[in-house]
Amino acid sequence: MSLLKIASSVAAFVKVRVWDKEVIDTFDFRLHYRFTCAFLFLASVLCTATSFLGDPITCIVDNEKIKKAVTTYCWITSTFTVPRLKGGRPGVDVAAHNVGPYLAYEESVVHHNYYQWVPFVLVFQGLMFYAPHWLWKKWEGGLISNISEGLRGRKIGDNEETRKKMERVILYFTSSWRMHKMYCACYTFCVALNLINTFGNIFLINKFLGGTFLEYGTKVLQLPDQEFRTDPMADVFPKITKCTFHKYGPSGGIQVLDVMCVLALNILNEKIYIFLWFWLIILAVISSLGLLYTLAITRFPKARETVFKRGFKISRTATKSIATKLSAGDFLVLHFLGQSISAASFTELLDQLSENLNDKRSHGNQTPPLIEMSPLYPHLPKTAA
């Protein structure tokens, strides 16, 4: 499998912004189901692509007749290292990091049996990061897509057809005023779910790696610059380990084979998890700020007013009118609509919407002119365009 094919298999997650595509979330939300999810799936594919690293495990056995059997046995059971030998100089005191002679059944060893499960866990994590987006798409129900239909894209001109579509959008907002509370609640829940999911993945990996992940990145940063050093990555992802294999000898007695195994796959695993350590911390911070931002714009009119002031060139009166008179859900729908259509069209929409909201009787008996409404609003009627 070529690297190009592997990259193309996850390219669908990392999408370049398409100008005629609606936007139903924020940047911090997209980091979860696009970048993080794509990385996890790509890492899982790389872990199974033996053409890059060769066999994931190779055991050193003198008898070539049983080498394959021993290697397979050590892969499907587990290999181990000897903590007592930690600090020994590889090639001088020990054969490799934490690898050397030991007294069977008389001292503790650390078994490493996670490596068979790494690709599966990475896929599971990728699905976890995609789940909030999938859930939000189901709840959102294509509302922004329906509202912004015909107004998305760079080449939207000022013609009669565009004017009619703009009037439909204005009519929708004035008719569905303060009817988007559930929209806001569902989105806020999904944003919070992203943050919970990030911390959940940190503790999931820590449990999966035997409690070594929480301090993994810190220990790597503190790695001393010396020839014989204790590499924390070698503790968590050893490249050379030991394995014990029992077989019957010619006389019928049990022979014990104490072999060393090379785990080439751990070269890749250690890089994947050191990146995840730093990335999940960064993502947790960004997700926390994203949740605070969502709570701020949905709960405080002043915050909504600030967003409109900095993002669009509309009058102060119109800005204040929209920020104070629209509910949090109305504002959130407007916020996503503003990311989906051109700035000029959205500014015109806000100015007109402000005028309509100031006139309480404006379109008071009208209904939203959309062919299909979102499942979030079954109480709103369906009408033809």
Assigned domain for 369 exists: no
Domain count of the chain? 1
Q: How far apart are CA 160 and CA 290, in angstroms?
A: 39
Burial of 320 (0-12, 13-18, 19+ CB in 10 A): middle
Assigned domain for 316 exists: yes
Q: What is the layout of strands, in order, in the sheet containing 79-81?
A: 58-60, 254-262, 240-248, 79-81, 110-112
Can you give the pLDDT at residue 272? 92
Counting residues of the chain whose pLDDT is more than 90, the rounded percentage is: 22
What is the band of 85 on the pLDDT scale with cuts at 50, 70, 90?
confident
Can you give the pLDDT at residue 284? 96
Q: How far apart are CA 44 and CA 328, in angstroms?
A: 40
Assigned domain for 141 exists: yes
Assigned domain for 182 exists: yes
Q: What is the pLDDT of residues 62-77, one digit of tens each?
A: 888 888 888 888 888 8
CB 362 within 8 A of CB 356: yes
Considering only CA atoms, which of 80, 98, 79, 101 is closest in space to residue 89?
98
Torsion 295-296-300-304 (CA) sign: negative
Assigned domain for 365 exists: no
Assigned domain for 378 exists: no
State yes or no: pLDDT of 234 exceeds 90. Answer: no
Can you give the pLDDT at residue 155? 56
In the numeric block, which tokens belong to residue 283? 């993502």
Assigned domain for 352 exists: yes
Q: What is the pLDDT of residues 101-143, one digit of tens each?
A: 777 665 678 888 788 888 899 999 999 999 999 999 999 888 8
Q: What is the pLDDT of residues 275-322, one digit of tens each?
A: 999 999 999 999 999 999 999 988 888 887 787 777 666 666 666 667
Q: How far apart are CA 263 and CA 261, in angstroms?
A: 6
Q: Which residues sit opposite 242 in a β-bridge?
A: 80, 260
Can you give the pLDDT at residue 316? 65
Among 61-75, 190-204, 246-260, 266-280, where is mean pLDDT lowest? 246-260
Can you give the pLDDT at residue 371? 38
pTM for the structure as a whole: 0.80
What is the band of 150 on the pLDDT scale with cuts at 50, 70, 90?
confident
3-state class of 141 per DSSP? Answer: coil
Q: Which domain holds residue 32?
A: 3-358
Assigned domain for 298 exists: yes
Averaged over 74-97, what is the pLDDT?
Answer: 78
Sequence-separated (6 or more) residues with CB below 8 Å from residue 109: 80, 81, 82, 83, 102, 242
What is the band of 374 on the pLDDT scale with cuts at 50, 70, 90?
very low
State yes or no: pLDDT of 376 exceeds 50. Answer: no
Averaged over 46-64, what is the pLDDT?
Answer: 77
